Structure 1
Amino acid sequence: MKIIYIKRESNVKEVYRTSLGRLNWKVTYIKKYFLGMPFKTMHKYTHTFFTKKNNRVEKMLFI
């Protein structure tokens, strides 16, 4: 087992915003580990995927 190593982990996070609708974020963390325990996050990268765009103009009722 190595004493110090770097590991990259990715997961998908679902978030709802009122202005944009439902969003899927792919979050990637690059962390540095010491004896199997993370002690420093070197980089955090977020990529956004739009699943549905909420358009307020279409929801307005014109009477």
Structure 2
Amino acid sequence: MKLITVERKTKKEKRYAKKMGILYTNVTYIRKTVLGLPIKTLHKYRETYYGKTKDCHKCILTR
């Protein structure tokens, strides 16, 4: 049994970009967990319609 693991989980989120407006996209979170409890988010990214991956800092949640 491992104490510290790194997990990857995908959620559907609503994002907002100036050029595109409201965008529903799959956001993948990479989190460090201890005994199954999340401690820290290491990275989060989203996949575009064309298959490219982008960092989530470019899209904000509110207007």
- TM-score > 0.5, shorter chain as reference: yes
Structure-1 separation of matches of 2:2 and 2:18:
46
Stretches of structure 1 that go unaligned for 5 or more consecutive residues are 50-63
- Aligned positions, number: 49
Matches within 5 A, 1:24-43: 24-43=24-43
User: TM-score w.r.t. structure 1 length?
Assistant: 0.57
Aligned residue for 1:4? 4
Q: How far apart are the structure 2 equivalents of 1:12 and 1:25?
A: 6
Q: Summarize the Cα distance change of 1:14–1:48 in structure 2 as closer, same or farther, 3 Å threshold.
A: farther
| Percent of pairs with identical residues | 43
* 1:18-57 pair list within 5 angstroms: 20-49=20-49
**Whose Rg is larger?**
1
